Structure 1
């Protein structure tokens, strides 16, 4: 079977959640089900990233020129196309594929409607101001209010068109169906299929080695305050350190992002010396060593890093800020769920785990066991069944 992924970026397992899942599915489709995986993408990525291996890739210029993509589909006898959040492409691609026997599956990795609030002024400013982009940038700045209004107006239509023209819509949780329908003004739910995110790694932490875990608290995230709220986690850590100034626990933060400078400055100003920023690294060695994992996002569609933490026996402490969280964490069993925005309770929950080895180990054992529901083999098998139906 020949499967084409259409993605915004070229794929690397170290780039982001969508790319990590794409990498996992591609590897599993190829090794377990002997499929050939192809990639069409719009934006290149930094050369420092390891790229996922595909049978063949095509770098597309924009969403309006379909001829190169259609030729690629025909040349490689593509049988299924997985559109990764490509709302603007679904309708036009479906029409362009008339007469071609190909199944179009739309996979949405975000909370429905979140795109409406993600249109920010900073996005229209180039990373480098050069002579040739000064005038276009000035024009975009002047037109920004209209651009923002237009995009916010269009997104519900994109959702509606996507549901109408895709053969299937894959969401990460049953609790996301109603928000998707409400945002897109959709009255039918027959096209929805729920497939959870697969674990990024194939191995699980050995239970007999849990006692070798180190006194490390871990965050793995893009370092952007909206929606990740990393500052909330740092402030909770600050409260713990104020109460226990001689603690031998440390907080490790893995990831990069536009607000990294903000977090580093806060830590410097508050003299929080037991926090380390590791940059964009493979998180697996950090999961292996850590004992407690922090999730403070104000909105997620799933929470891939929580399940990754669980498979390595890192007990998650998460804020009750999004619907699908309860499908991953059972409170006081395989992790802890804290009332959203309650900083004192969040710091207290972390501190309780730090001080109680037996409780922490109990939750870790349960976390490892529960995470096996999301093994890459199980999740990829659900995808293959969907493609073949």
Structure 2
């Protein structure tokens, strides 16, 4: 088949979770004989030579006549069999729809996030700032209108999934729990078939090199306020650091909140905190004993499986429906009730106090290519 993977940013092997998951899948499908190309709204540098990278003509907006005509001409001219929309959890789903595009290609909407994306913990998404009187008033006003904002969010989510079910041939979720959430929100699909397929592993556990672990705690991800909430991790570090002066916290990644997080670390007088920027995470996974994830919501975060592949124990809030699938027991990792910093600090302190016990990794078998790729091949081959 002739496949196009779309995402608003270029799909790269070392970018964010969505991009990395899409790249790994595209590479695997290419090895199975499918022709693959990438399409994005924005341009990128240092692109791999593994597949053609194409760009929409208008970069300031997705939904416009120029981009629609480009996609329709591209699909007809190159005989595209299927568009895999990797940005379907965003509003890109409204553009990549049979109700808006006149294409013969089938459209697969790939949902790489928790379907409810924070609706269960809506108040936790509220940005709180009491640093000045003006900011305090704004925070109180945001809190006052929170019920109405949640009503709006639920209504918009319901409309989006109903539209997606009408405009897509197939919708792929990361977990059956997310498919159930979508059905509860939008009702029975009018057109689309639903699939539950997890992300591929980034690293094979058998290929990791055994090494001596250091007294290191690790965060890997974007430095954004919502949904990542890395400030929670800094407050947790404030609680545990005095008992463990020989430990270090490494934060890998970048984003709009980096400067604010660095200021918070300085204000809390935190020691042994290292903002490393964008780096290859593999060397850090190899040396770290613990990975921390303090997000309000996730989809199926690849960092958890990446940590397990390197013998690094994940600690995360049980704030997304796939969490219990990824960390089913305490021997695999630690799930903390949302969003108790006290309990998070207690579990982290326990792990830091004892000897390093490598986590169980048998759960990773469900994410290996021999399990995941056949599910995608079945999804692609089934007629809409």
Partners of 2:41 and 2:234 lie apart in 1 by: 35
In the alignment, structure 1 residue 107 sits paired with structure 2 residue 113: no
Q: Distance in 2 between matches of 1:193 and 1:340?
A: 28
In structure 1, distance between residues paired with 2:358 and 2:204: 22
What does residue range 1-389 of structure 1 map to in structure 2 within 5 Å?
A: 1-31=1-31, 33-45=32-44, 47=45, 50-51=47-48, 53-61=50-58, 62-65=62-65, 66-84=68-86, 85=88, 86-92=92-98, 95-97=101-103, 100=104, 102-114=105-117, 155-186=157-188, 191-202=193-204, 204=206, 206=208, 209=210, 212-244=212-244, 247-357=245-355, 360-363=356-359, 366-367=360-361, 369-389=362-382
Q: 1:228 to 1:268 in 2, by over 3 A?
A: same
Q: TM (normalized to structure 1)? A: 0.81
CA 1:59–1:150: 2 relative to 1, 3 Å: farther
In the superposition, relative to structure 1, how do residues 317 and 115 fare at CA in structure 2: closer, same or farther (>3 Å)?
A: closer
SS of the equivalent of 1:91 reads coil
Greater alpha carbon shift after TM alignment, 171-180 vs 183-192: 183-192
Give the equivalent residue in structure 1 for 2:133: none
CA distance in 2, matches of 1:374, 1:155: 28
Moved more, 255-264 or 53-62: 53-62
Asked if the contact 1:199/1:374 (under 8 Å) is kept, the reply is: yes
Displacement after TM superposition at 1:272 (Å) = 1.5
Q: What corresponds to 1:134 in structure 2?
A: none
Distance change (3 Å), C-alpha of 1:88 and 1:193: same
* In 2: Cα distance, 1:346 partner to 1:52 partner: 43
When normalised by structure 2's length, the TM-score is 0.82
Partner of 2:141: none
How many aligned residue pairs are there? 346
Distance 1:115 1:227, change over 3 A: closer
The secondary structure found in structure 2 opposite 1:361 is coil
- Distance in 2, matches of 1:242 and 1:316, equals 22
Q: Deviations over 1:237-288 (max 9, x none)?
A: 11111234xx211110001111111211121122212010110112122112
Deviations 1:97-145 (A, max 9, x none): 1xx3x3221101122254998xx9x9xxxxxxxxxxxxxxxxxxxxxxx
Cα deviation for residue 236 of structure 1 reads 1.2
How far, CA to CA, are the matches of 1:381 and 1:94 in structure 2? Answer: 31
Give distance in 2, aligned partners of 1:178 and 1:267. Answer: 40
Change (3 A) 1:341 1:115: closer
Partners of 1:35 and 1:252 lie apart in 2 by 39
1:171 touches 1:192 (CA, 8 Å); kept in 2?
yes
Tell me the SS of whatever aligns to 1:197. Answer: coil
Residues 200-248 of structure 1, C-alpha deviation per residue, up to 9 Å, x if partnerless? 23454658x25x122111000111122112111111111111234xx21
Higher helix share: 1
Unaligned regions of 5+ residues in structure 1, if any? 123-147
Q: Using the alignment, how far apart are the partners of 1:115 and 1:13 within structure 2?
A: 27
> Structure 2: how far apart are the matches of 1:281 and 1:50?
17
Summarize the Cα distance change of 1:361–1:150 in structure 2 as closer, same or farther, 3 Å threshold: closer
CA distance in 2, matches of 1:261, 1:343: 22
Task: Provide, for residues 47-98 of structure 1, a one-character-per-residue CA deviation record: whole Å limited to 9, x for no partner.
Answer: 3x6557323523342333322112211222212211121311233467501x
CA contact (8 A) 1:216 1:290 kept: yes
- Segments of 5+ residues of structure 2 without an aligned counterpart are 128-149
Contact map agreement 2:95 2:101 (CA 8 A) in 1: no
Contact 1:157–1:184, Cα closer than 8 Å, also in 2: yes
User: Counterpart of 2:185 in 1: which secondary structure?
Assistant: helix
